[in-house]
Chain A
């Protein structure tokens, strides 16, 4: 009877197992249990089980690079790999080359259903989306405090816009406790107005890793948020419900940080531009006003202030002359009439007649004597000559022949 050493036996069984072609690459479906991850080595250890049994699995770091989700106990999964023996324990195990969640199709269907439902409800409506503030004073970040995402965002914000305060609201971003934590953080931020804009997100991962951002409560909380929210989940091709409902969607956390912050260098340039523009505007204004002033100053009123007075004086002289002329005309007319009247009066004057050698004879009472018979011998008459009066006594009256009655 041959007696084997333990290690010899294990080696033999290992050789037998490894000689079976069907076991070189098998797919196994089961529920993950006893999951352990050793960060120092990067290896994952777990068991797959179903109602009837269990099998140990190891997922080495070199293969596990392809892992796109966070394995968790209780999760249904399909592993592929080769079957071999671990000689130290004498157990056989599955050396995994891939591990996928079972029922990924179901997740996708659930995603589409929820998307459809929320879309119909209007949660993705563009009218509801709030604009992002141009110059936020505080930028809130709802994400995991560890990992590349938060680091990238802080790096970008530090470079672009150090004016803003950054407030991290640390949350778990995967696992069952992630959605309520994200909901609480967003609600807290809104109720306490701790930021002007929020970035909600995480770095890349498998569809399962990003699942918290497909949560209905998270979506509704984002919808009802009073602070504008930028979603930043995973990498460019990853799309979550949060992306649809957020006010803006960033392809990556880095991109989100760029979206919420004005760039310092750009701002500086713009400020310089504004300053130059202000200066141009103002000097233009001053120049225009200066020209206006020059034009005004060139006016005669200002260059020759007495001109105004001179003008008025000339006008006054003119008016005065007209007045005199009018007055003269007015005065000359009656004078002329008077002279004419005086001339004709003079011509008719009895004194003129007397001047020609005639005399007017009256009685002592002044009655004109037209007939010689009106006088009486011995009576007195008065003879008026041009230059004097003769008081006469009638000596004799001789009547002319043809005057006799």
Chain B
């Protein structure tokens, strides 16, 4: 998202060479699709920190207690 902001700013300035601006435009479009795909396809990972038998902290999937 930050890179997208940069790209928009660069294109808005309008002083990039056409070839560069095309590259920026392509990169921007690619980022937009990638971000959208990430948003659409995201499966949230929910972990919790717990002690393993060795006493070390480790991450394990967190199951909510169904009450």
Contact = CB atoms under 8 A, between A and B. Distances in A.
Interface of A: 134-135, 145-146, 150-151, 154, 157-158, 162-170, 185, 188, 194, 264, 267-268, 271, 274-275, 277-278, 281-282, 285-286, 289
B46 A282 contact: no
A170 B49 contact: yes
Interface in B48-67: 48-50, 57, 59, 62, 64-65
Nearest to B5: A274
B64 A151 contact: yes
A158 B44 contact: yes
Contacts of B45: 165-166
Contacts of A162: 39, 42-44
Nearest to A277: B8
A168 B49 contact: yes
Nearest to B42: A162
Nearest to B4: A274
Interface in B2-58: 2, 4, 7-8, 11-12, 14, 18, 21-22, 25, 28-29, 32, 35-36, 38-39, 42-50, 57
A278 B46 contact: no
Which of B12, B49, B57 lies at the interface centre, i.e. has the most chain A CB atoms within 10 A of its CB? B49
Given A158-B44, A164-B44, A281-B25, 6 more contacts: A134-B2, A151-B64, A271-B39, A274-B8, A277-B8, A278-B28
A267 B38 CA distance: 11
A285 B18 contact: yes
Nearest to B13: A281
Closest 4 CB pairs of A and B: A162-B42, A162-B44, A168-B48, A282-B25
Contacts of A275: 28-29, 32
Interface residues of B, number: 33
Nearest to B65: A146
Contacts of A285: 11, 14, 18, 21
B12 A134 contact: no
Interface of B: 1-2, 4, 7-8, 11-12, 14, 18, 21-22, 25, 28-29, 32, 35-36, 38-39, 42-50, 57, 59, 62, 64-65
Contact of B11 (A170, A185, A282): A282
A24 to B, nearest CB: 38
B39 A281 contact: no
Contacts of B39: 162-163, 264, 267-268, 271
Given A163-B39, A278-B28, A278-B32, A168 B46 contact: yes
Contacts of B57: 188
Contact of A282 (B21, B38, B59): B21
21 contacts: A135-B1, A150-B64, A158-B44, A162-B43, A167-B47, A167-B48, A167-B59, A168-B48, A170-B49, A185-B49, A268-B39, A271-B36, A274-B4, A274-B8, A274-B28, A275-B28, A278-B25, A281-B11, A281-B14, A282-B21, A282-B25
